[in-house]
Amino acid sequence: MSEPLLRVENLRTQFGRRDPLVAVDGISYDLRAGETLGIVGESGAGKSVSVRSLVGLIDDGEVAGSVEWRGEELVGAKPRELRAVRGSGIGMVFQNAEAAFDPIETVGRQIVEAVRANRDLSKRDARTEAIDLLEEVGIGDPAGRFDDYPHEYSGGMAQRAGIAMALAGEPDLLIADEPTTGLDVSVQAGIVDLFRDLVAERDMSLLLISHDLGVVSQLCERIMVMYAGRIVERGSRKQLLDSPRHPYTGAFLRSVPDVDVRKDLEPIGGSPPSLDDPPAGCRFHPRCPAAEAGVCDGAAPPTVSFEDGGEDAERHEATCHGYTDAHPGGDAFDREAVEWIEPADGAERGER
Ligand SMILES: Nc1ncnc2c1ncn2[C@@H]1O[C@H](COP(=O)(O)OP(=O)(O)OP(=O)(O)O)[C@@H](O)[C@H]1O
Ligand code: NI
C-alpha cells in the first residue's frame, strides 16, 4: 500500500485558555491518494474546525497533535509553508464561495493570480489556463464571464468559480466544507456531479465535510461520524448506511431524508453538548436511548471493530460502551460481530 497523502494523529484544537473550549478532541485518520472521505455530524460537532486545523486556518486557537502532508508536519509549520501547501497540494472550497473572492477584482483575474502563484506561467498562458478552469467547472461562456465581478455570478456559479480557484494549483487533495449548503436543491445536484467528475478525472482525493449525509454518501467511499469533537464511528459508506453500530449514527440516519427511500424522519431528541463542559464518559449518553447509568457516564467508551462489508471491507469502528460486558446490551448491540476491542484513552478494556 502506498503511504497516505494525509495522516492526522490525535488532532486537538482548543479555543481560549481559562475556560477552554475543545472543539476537536483527539481525532485520527489517514487519507490515501484517490480516496474520498466524508465527515458528517450535527452543527457544532467540530467538523469545520477539524479541517481548518489541518492547514493552518485557525488563528485564534491552539492546534495540537500531528498532521502529516506527504510526510511533512503541518502542525506548527511556518505560515509561508502552510500557504504553499494550501496553494498547491491542498485546495480548499468553502460554503460561502463569494467570500473566497475579492469583491473589487474580476473573477478571471483572481483565478489568473491563483494559477500564477503556484505555477510558472506567463500571463497569457495563465489566462488560457484560467479560462480552461472556468470551463472545466461548468461556467458557460468562460471567456465571456472572465471579466465579471464576483457579485455578477449567481450562487451556483460563484461556487463553481470557487472550485476553479481551488483547482488553480493542481491540488492532490480537495477539502470541501459544506460546498452545497445554502444552494438550491437543483444547483446542489450540479455541484455534486461536478465534484464526482473532478475526482475521477483529476485523480484527486476528496475530504468532504457536510451535515448532509445525502451529499456525503453520493461522493464519499469512506465516512466518519463526528459527535462533540470526537469521531464516534467510521467505515465504508455501505458499512455505515447498512449497519451503523453507534447509536448516534443510527439516530443520525433516522433523522435525515434517505437518498432514495421515503421514510418518516425522527429528529434526534435533545441537543449536542456544549464543548466547554462536555458530559463525562460517552458524550452522547445524555441523548442515547441505550445509555446505561454507571457505564456510559463513567469511563471513556472503548473503540470496537467490526468485520463486515465483505472482501474489500474498510476498517469499521465504533466508540461505544454497548459492546462491552459492563453494558447489559440488547438487540441494538450485536456483540457477536465485534472482532476486537481496543480501549480508548483512559477506558478499561471490555471483557468479551
Ligand atoms: N474561533 C472560534 N472561537 C471559539 N470557538 C469556536 C471558534 N470557531 C469554532 N468554535 C466552536 O467550535 C465548535 C465547533 O465548531 P465547528 O464550526 O467546527 O462545527 P461544525 O461541525 O462545522 O458545525 P456547522 O455544521 O454548524 O458548521 C463550536 O462549538 C463552535 O462554537
Ligand atoms: Ni462547519
**CB-based pocket (< 6 A), ligand 1:** 15, 21, 23, 41, 43-49, 60-61, 211, 275
Per DSSP (E only), the strands in the chain are 6-15, 21-31, 36-40, 61-69, 72-73, 90-93, 173-177, 205-210, 222-227, 230-236, 303-306, 316-319, 338-342
CATH 3.40.50.300, applies to 224-342: yes
Confirm whether 6-220 and 224-342 share one CATH topology.
yes
Q: How confident is the model at residue 261 (pLDDT cuts 50, 70, 90)?
A: low
Share of the chain above pLDDT 90, in %: 76
Stated pTM of the model: 0.93
Domains of the chain, residue spans? 6-220, 224-342
> Which ligand does the CA of 47 lie closest to?
1
Q: Which residue of 47, 208, 215, 277 sits with most ligand 1 atoms within 8 Å of its CB, as the best mutation to test the pocket?
A: 47
Looking at this predicted complex, what is its ipTM? Answer: 0.99
Q: To which H or E segment does residue 196 belong?
A: helix 185-202
| Tens-digit pLDDT profile for residues 20-30 | 999 999 999 99
**Helix ranges, 209-324 (H):** 213-219, 237-242, 247-255
> Which ligand does the CA of 40 lie closest to?
1
Q: How confident is the model at residue 352 (pLDDT cuts 50, 70, 90)?
A: very low
Share of the chain above pLDDT 70, in %: 92
Asked if residues 206 and 36 have their Cβ atoms less than 8 Å apart, the reply is yes
| Tens-digit pLDDT profile for residues 66-96 | 999 999 999 999 999 999 999 889 999 998 8
Residue 58 CA: which ligand 1 atom is closest?
1
What one-character DSSP code corresponds to residue 302? P
Q: What is the pLDDT of residue 347?
A: 41
| C-alpha closest to that of 221 among 339, 94, 312 | 312
CATH 3.40.50.300, applies to 6-220: yes
Q: What is the pLDDT of residue 7?
A: 98
